[in-house]
Amino acid sequence: MDLGRSTLKVLVARTGNALLFFGAIVYFTRALPADRVSAFFLYLALVGLLSIPADLGMRGALEKRLSEGGAPAETLGSALAFKAVSLSVVCVAVVTAGPLIESAIGMPYTGLLVAGLVAQEFGRTYVQAVRGELRVGDTAPIELCRRVVWVGIGVLLVSRGWGARGILVGHVVGRTVEFCWAFLRCRTPIGRPSLARVRSLFAFSKYQTVTAVGGRVYQWMDVVIIGLLLSGRYVSAYEVAWQVTLLVLLLSKSIELNLFPQISRWDTEASTARIESTISRALGAVLFVSIPALVGAAIYAEPVLSLFFGPEYVIASTVLVILMVEKLFQSYNDIVGTSIRAIDRPDLSARAVVVSVGLNLVASPLLVLSIGFEGAAIATGTAWFVNAAMQTRYLSRFVEIGFPLRLVGWYAVASVVMGAALLAVRRAVPVDGVAVLLAQVGVGVGVYLLVSAAIPRVRTRILTPGIAVIRG
């Protein structure tokens, strides 16, 4: 697998995904009342939380075992059999608890919740099966198509008066398209399930489940806590700020998806030197993006929220900046965490998740009650920092982590220069419209790239290889 080209494909698709989602959220927040939009976010939160017991880490285990090679058909058949049982149990529980769930969401959408969960689980299972075949780049158009379908149908139905239900229908249809396409792209046939393969999968998935719980807690627990302790207005504002900061993770997530199966294969071949070199280069790449993004967020948080989503969302300006710090830690952790799991030590990754999630669950409600919904962002950022520190310590036991300290220092210098230029530009030209905002962001990107290009180490380690990948 060509890591550079595959990562570029995923990055392009994920950028398209993010822009589509960003545009859709802008439209939905303006077309629907805040409480209807919060119902959609709560629906996504429930789907995310329910996917944990429905999957029990099996998707990650399937990708890991397929990337190692050996009895792929039997492995896929065993994973699907396990998935069918766990998903059936969860769906029955959801239907039984339907009235309670509908009361929590505020809308009668149990049927859509079950349909969305089933489509999502089988779709994502086959997507990760394709990745396990070391064909991560082939999943890029599948994920982009899923988002196009969801946004297209959601916007159409909302404009026709369907309200929040239209967004959910679009989500279900998009996931169904994802499943059909991934099923057709997967080259591994469905073999006969075996108890030995289920045990092998479960040996990995039991720890992957803990990691998945941590991911869902980080992603949705803040929304749930804010929804319980504050009003729906704060839920929508916090989630909008969260979605904006996710743009920073486009590169790290794209690299993470490609690193996992490749490092897994190298680990079976004992290619330690290649693993170490790749981790160092990956860390240098992701921090090249997340450090200047933090500076930009500190300058433009308020106008971004006001101009794109409306003045009622400006209350999340401080939250956006805090979450951008959290995304700095998370982008680093995306590389380190996936490397630990890829060398078949998901138990260590799970241990770090347990500690950090416990910290988040305790700190988040306490801080929300004491200082407001900014406290949820502080708790999450602190938890990610602890997680990253622990994962780094664990990974260093097996490979040497060549942290690019000098590169990070130069990134900071270039970011400070960029920030100074943007402050001067903003004083001279007030941000009174989307066009002006985008133009100033473009100026900031240009200044950062020019300063970076003038630094030999950054030019040779980051910019030149990046241009080579783009040119193919």
Q: Is 435 left (phi over 0), alpha (psi -120 to 50) or beta?
A: alpha
| Measured distance CA(404)–CA(280) in Å, rounded | 7
pLDDT of residue 149: 93
Is the pLDDT at 42 greater than 60? The verdict is yes
Helix ranges (H only) for 310-373 are 317-342, 346-371
Q: E strand or H helix at 46, and its extent?
A: helix 34-55
Helix (H, G, I), strand (E, B) or coil at 8: helix
pLDDT of residue 5: 76
Give the position of tokens 């001279």. 428
pLDDT of residue 182: 93
And the tokens for 17?
A: 């995904």
pLDDT of residue 7: 78
Return the minimum-mean-pLDDT range out of 11-15, 355-359, 393-397, 420-424.
11-15
**Side chain identity at 95, as an amino acid letter?**
V
Q: E strand or H helix at 72, and its extent?
A: helix 72-96
How large is the average pLDDT for residues 103-128? Answer: 83
* Helix, strand, coil tally for the chain in percent (to 5): 90, 0, 10
How large is the average pLDDT for residues 53-68? Answer: 87
Q: E strand or H helix at 470, and its extent?
A: helix 464-471
Q: Where are the beta strands (DSSP E) in 154-198?
A: none
| Measured distance CA(137)–CA(3) in Å, rounded | 9
Nearest to 2 by CA among 142, 136, 141, 182: 136
Q: Is 230 left (phi over 0), alpha (psi -120 to 50) or beta?
A: beta
Q: Where are the beta strands (DSSP E) in 198-269?
A: none
| Measured distance CA(467)–CA(289) in Å, rounded | 15
Query: pLDDT-based confidence at 324, cuts 50/70/90?
Result: very high
Return the minimum-mean-pLDDT range out of 39-43, 141-145, 158-162, 163-167.
39-43
Give the position of tokens 């008066």. 161
Residues with Cβ within 8 Å of residue 180, at least 6 apart in sequence: none
Q: What percent of the chain clears pLDDT 70, i.e. is strictly above it? A: 95
Q: E strand or H helix at 47, and its extent?
A: helix 34-55
pLDDT of residue 36: 72
Nearest to 225 by CA among 327, 86, 87, 369: 369
How large is the average pLDDT for residues 187-195? Answer: 90
394 vs 59, 100, 360, 402, 465, CA distance in Å? Answer: 23, 42, 21, 14, 29
76 vs 66, 284, 397, 425, CA distance in Å? Answer: 8, 35, 32, 56
Give the position of tokens 């009622």. 312
Give the position of tokens 């009342």. 33
Q: Is 286 within 8 Å of 331 (Cβ atoms)?
A: yes
Nearest to 397 by CA among 456, 339, 323: 339
Is the pLDDT at 107 greater than 70? The verdict is no
For residue 229, how many C-alpha atoms fall within 13 Å in the half-sphere facing its CB? 19
Is the pLDDT at 1 greater than 60? The verdict is no
How large is the average pLDDT for residues 294-315? Answer: 88
And the tokens for 286?
A: 């992701």
Query: pLDDT-based confidence at 295, cuts 50/70/90?
Result: very high
Instruction: Write the DSSP symbol of residue 139.
Output: G
Give the DSSP letter string of 401-430.
----HHHHHHHHHHHHHHHHHHHHHHHHS-
pLDDT of residue 6: 78
Is the pLDDT at 247 greater than 90? The verdict is no
pLDDT of residue 2: 64
Query: Could you report the per-residue pLDDT of 421-464, keeping only the tens digit for each?
Result: 999 998 888 888 889 999 999 999 999 999 999 999 888 888 88
How large is the average pLDDT for residues 157-176? Answer: 88
Average pLDDT value for the chain: 86
pLDDT of residue 35: 65
Give the position of tokens 């489940």. 209
> Is the C-alpha dihedral spanning 463, 17, 323, 220 positive or negative?
negative
Is the pLDDT at 53 greater than 70? The verdict is yes
Nearest to 107 by CA among 157, 52, 41: 41
> Is the C-alpha dihedral spanning 104, 55, 254, 325 positive or negative?
positive
Total Cβ atoms within 10 A of residue 396 = 12
| Measured distance CA(237)–CA(231) in Å, rounded | 10
